[in-house]
Structure 1
Amino acid sequence: MAAAARHGGTGRMVASVGYTAIPVKFSEKHHSPHYLYVKEHKVREDKDHNRPQNRTLFVLNVPPYCTEECLSRLFSGFCSVQSVEMCEKPILGEKTEPSKTKFFGAKIPSHMQMETAPIHNYMLFDSQGFQVAYVVFKSPAGVQAAKSLSTEEPLLISSNRHPVQTGIQKWIAKYAASIVDPTELKTEVDGFMQTYDQKIAKEEAKAEKEDGVPDEEGWVKVTRKGRRPGLPRTEAANLRALEREKRKRARKELLNFYAWQHRETKREHIAQLRKKFEEDKQKIALMRAQRKFRPY
């Protein structure tokens, strides 16, 4: 992925064909420069709208301590910078949509994916290796100026005016930033829910407006709201429904499988016979009183 380079006879760094070596130093205290290898980012037409042709610079060998703000400041000396995107390796096609919140969706390193680890610990780890970057200028002159850079004086990444945190200070700052503020989190969640409710309300209003209206081909969209509302069930209907459920459950059960089931069946049968006998006695007594009983 990195562009190969070698020392020429003059001691200058010579980059691979197509790349330009730009020397950078972390600060004035450092003597050995670090080299960024840049070239114009070219892809097929209409394949990468976020990195426009003639205005995007592809940067290799970006050190871990260099941030997007640092690259924007370094390359703004050539031309006004529109955006800077950093990633672990070159990306083909459209870039991923950035996260809309800082509380969720934090990237977890593969070696730290443990279910028991707290989420705020994940935010302490950045990419441990060198990265690539896409610098988009507001004018094509920025790409040409970076490609034709001839100065041997290294650019400074960290200065008194623009300090860059490293080491334990960087870890402390990232740990402090990883602690969630409940008030800020509640505000963001409330805003998200408000936006979601408005979206649902618009969709429902649009559905109601289009309900019953034929489209261009003459089809009418039928929804559940267009159906006639059913009548509430009466008490007798509820009882019949319960009785059907009871019979349905009884059919699924094994009858007289256990001894106690056999005894219960006999008791119920005897109770039904006694009930029928008493009902017949009352019926005969009534018929005798009305002189309608004729046993022969």
Structure 2
Amino acid sequence: MKKTTASKTSEEPDSFVELCREFLVSGFSAIPVKFGSACLACQLLYFKPHQVRGTDDSRPADRTLFVLNVPPYCTKDCLNRLFSRCGKVEAVLFCERPGGQIHTTDDTSTFFPRSQEIRTFKVAYVVFEKPSGLRKAAGLKLSEPFVLSTRDQPVVTGMRKWCQRYTQDRPDVAELQSELDSYMADYDKRKQEELEKEKAQGEEPDEEGWITVTRHGRTPGAPRTEAMEKKALKREKKKRSRRELMNFYTFQIRESKREHIAQLRKKFEEDKDKIAAMKANRRFRPY
């Protein structure tokens, strides 16, 4: 959809209601918004009830409002303040395009976020707690533009935003070390619980009398020391060098194969003679 930016001048309609009618898109309602109270230019948000094919638990059809032409600086808090006058908002979801993947932020780590902010015009899905909120929002009209950035709830943009992000990307060393220690402690605890569970399963037979054998074994052996590791590596190296010296040249490999085949043939002939002798010595003794 073509992005439309309208600013109020002397040639434009006297009221923003007429402005919304002039740039109205078929099937959508429009609300004018602007970044700050001192801004003259405004942006139109187009919205309508969301229609879903099939089932979607995150965007139910009877409680979800579909919003287009959302500017990059518009946050979830801004849309929550805008549409909360129609009813309590349960969630605000952002996508890069209609029907696309929902943009989520992983908050499990303070210092390593796994998702990036959408920096272009985006699509929003406003989910109300009750269907009545969607019905009120479908007929929502404003006589003046809705201000996104206020004194109480400012929207940080421009140089201040990049400076803030730069500061957030450089974490405090002590806090980072604390988070790493906490993560490793949870990891060690989880691994210990898995080992104890596997050990308990391996020692106790099930209903049919079978014992589960895990990759860790029923009784874990003593860990190898550094001296034991060196001895094992030395034995392996000696074995490898002996094998390489034995079959270093091509004619040596060929001769060893010939000797092996000759030994097999000799043993085969000896076994044939033994079988023939056993057959000759066998006698019929009925009584």
CA distance in 1, matches of 2:196, 2:99: 41
CA distance in 1, matches of 2:91, 2:85: 14
Partner of 2:48: 39
2:108 maps to what in 1? 100
Distance 1:220 1:134, change over 3 A: farther
How much has 1:166 moved relative to structure 2?
Answer: 2.3
Alignment partner of 1:198 out of 189, 202, 217 = 189
Per-residue deviation, 1:52: 3.0
Stretches of structure 2 that go unaligned for 5 or more consecutive residues are 7-11, 225-229, 250-287
Which residue of 1 is the match for residue 66 of structure 2? 58
**Deviation readout 1:97-120 (Å, 9 max, x if unpaired):** 734213224546xxxxxxxxxxxx
**Does residue 165 of structure 2 align to residue 174 of structure 1?**
yes
Q: How does 1:155-234 map to 2 (within 5 A)?
A: 155-213=146-204, 220-223=211-214, 224-226=216-218
Aligned residue number for residue 267 of structure 1: none
Contact 2:4/2:44 (8 A) holds in 1: no
1:250-289 CA distances to partner (integer Å, 9 max, x unpaired)? 33137998xxxxxxxxxxxxxxxxxxxxxxxxxxxxxxxx
Pairs within 5 Å for 1:1-296: 1=1, 10-11=18-19, 12-46=21-55, 48-92=56-100, 98-107=106-115, 127-213=118-204, 220-223=211-214, 224-226=216-218, 246=238, 248-253=240-245
Change (3 A) 1:218 1:31: farther
One-letter code of the match for 1:49? D
- How far apart are residue 49 of structure 1 and its match? 2.2
One-letter amino acid matched to 1:205: E
CA–CA distance in structure 2, aligned partners of residues 105 and 50 of structure 1: 22
| SS across alignment from 2:59 | coil
**Structure 1 position 184, deviation (Å):** 1.7
The residue number in structure 2 matching 1:294 is: none
Seq. identity, %: 37
| TM-score in terms of structure 2 length | 0.65
Relative to structure 1, is the Cα distance of residues 104 and 79 closer, same or farther in structure 2, using a 3 angstrom cutoff?
same
Structure 1 letter corresponding to 2:63: R
| 1-structure distance, mates of 2:49, 2:208 | 50
SS in 1 for 2:217: helix
What is the distance in 2 between the residues matched to 1:179 and 1:217?
A: 58
Letter in 1 for 2:39: H
Distance 1:151 1:21 in 2: 9
Alpha-carbon separation, structure 2, partners of 1:94 and 1:55: 17
Write the letter of the residue equivalent to 2:242: A
2:92 is paired with a residue whose SS is strand
Q: CA deviation at 1:128?
A: 3.5
Query: Does the CA-based 8 Å contact 1:3-1:15 persist in structure 2?
Result: no
Give the C-alpha shift of residue 130 in structure 1: 0.8
Deviates more, 1:213-222 or 1:64-73: 213-222
Partner of 1:278: none
SS at match of 2:81: helix
Contact 2:94 2:124 in 1 (8 A): yes
Taking the aligned partners of 2:199 and 2:241, their CA distance within structure 1 comes to: 42
Deviation at 1:26, TM superposition (A): 1.6
RMSD: 4.0
Alpha-carbon shift at residue 62 of structure 1 (Å): 0.9
TM-score w.r.t. structure 1 length?
0.63
